[in-house]
Amino acid sequence: MKRPRFRIFLLFAVFAALPLIAHAGDVNLYGPFTDDASTGLDPSKTYTHAISGGTASSINGLSLEALGPGVIPANFSWSTNGLSSNSVVCCRNEDWIPADGGVTGPGLIETLGSFTYSSSGDTNPASQTFVLSGLTPGYEYETQFFVRMWDTEGSGRPIELTFTNGSEVDVIPGSFLHADRAMDIGMPNAHSAYSLAYGFVAQGPELTIDALVDNDPGVVSGSFHVYALTNELIAVPEPTCGFMLGCGMLGLVALRRR
């Protein structure tokens, strides 16, 4: 059964217009999300990480571990690079109105009602670094950040995301992702909830993600909000044999030893 998600391929058109930007991983948007099932999260799937910023929560039966100052899930690290580590405990929506965005799922609303952050904007640029460890080289994964708007003022919260997977480095520029402006990336409503997903084949045991909100003269941009983050195991490589004759000989030896 395919994931109950809607893919928005505007990313292809946007990135195609950006010169000299190559992406080794796959970047997608999923949404808009409505009920909990529409997120595609499912406890029957395998996740190396399932994290909720600020408060532990659950969406569609999948438990999300809390992330906050002094509360760090296993195989995960969070650095605010010299700024304070902060969290908002559920529920604080600010200017976000779930009903206006068609968001009805109780788990989704609760999860998006809390988050972690590093700066209110007066100390920008604000950079945060997240490291997902415990990955298996050669395995295919998909990391998702869940996003919704926070306020209607300021710059729209432009987020530059840098994904480092071994020697591969992919950058999603802040000119594309304005976290407080969902309609700018094709969502039907300013209050829509969605996710940005990065698919990759692990080169090593870690994926490093840097989230930067730069200085915007005259406006307060705030910092990157982590409402929820998941890393799903998508595929395990099939075993291979370099020499078919060798494979056959190994099979004969195995049969004889039975």
pLDDT in tens, 195-206: 999 999 999 999
At 182, list the tokens: 């969902």
pLDDT of residue 234: 98
- The answer to whether residue 1 sits within a structural domain is no
Secondary structure (DSSP) of 35-94:
SGGGG---TTS-EEEEEEESS-EEETTEEEEEEBTTB--TTEEEE-TTSPPEEE-S---T
- The answer to whether residue 2 sits within a structural domain is no
pLDDT of residue 238: 84
Contact partners, residue 126, CB within 8 Å, separation at least 6: 80, 83, 118, 119, 212, 213, 221, 222, 223, 224
Fill in the amino acid letter for 196. L
Q: From its phi and psi, is residue 75 left (phi > 0), alpha (psi between -120 and 50) or beta?
A: left
* Domain count along the chain: 1
- The answer to whether residue 176 sits within a structural domain is yes
- The answer to whether residue 39 sits within a structural domain is yes
Residue-number span of the structural domain to which 246 is assigned: 7-257
- Tell me the pTM: 0.84
Has residue 79 got a pLDDT over 80? yes
> Are the C-beta atoms of 189 and 100 separated by less than 8 Å?
yes
pLDDT of residue 254: 37
pLDDT in tens, 28-40: 999 999 999 999 9
Has residue 253 got a pLDDT over 70? no
Has residue 129 got a pLDDT over 80? yes
Has residue 128 got a pLDDT over 90? yes
pLDDT in tens, 44-61: 999 999 999 999 999 999
- For strands 140-147 and 115-117, give the pairing: unpaired
Q: From its phi and psi, is residue 94 left (phi > 0), alpha (psi between -120 and 50) or beta?
A: left
Q: Mean pLDDT for the chain?
A: 85
- The answer to whether residue 171 sits within a structural domain is yes
Is 6 or 152 the better-scoring residue by pLDDT? 152
Has residue 120 got a pLDDT over 80? no
Q: Worst-scoring range by mean pLDDT, 69-73, 159-163, 217-221, 225-229?
A: 217-221
Q: Residue 197: helix, strand or coil by DSSP?
A: strand
> Are the C-beta atoms of 224 and 211 separated by less than 8 Å?
yes
pLDDT of residue 16: 34
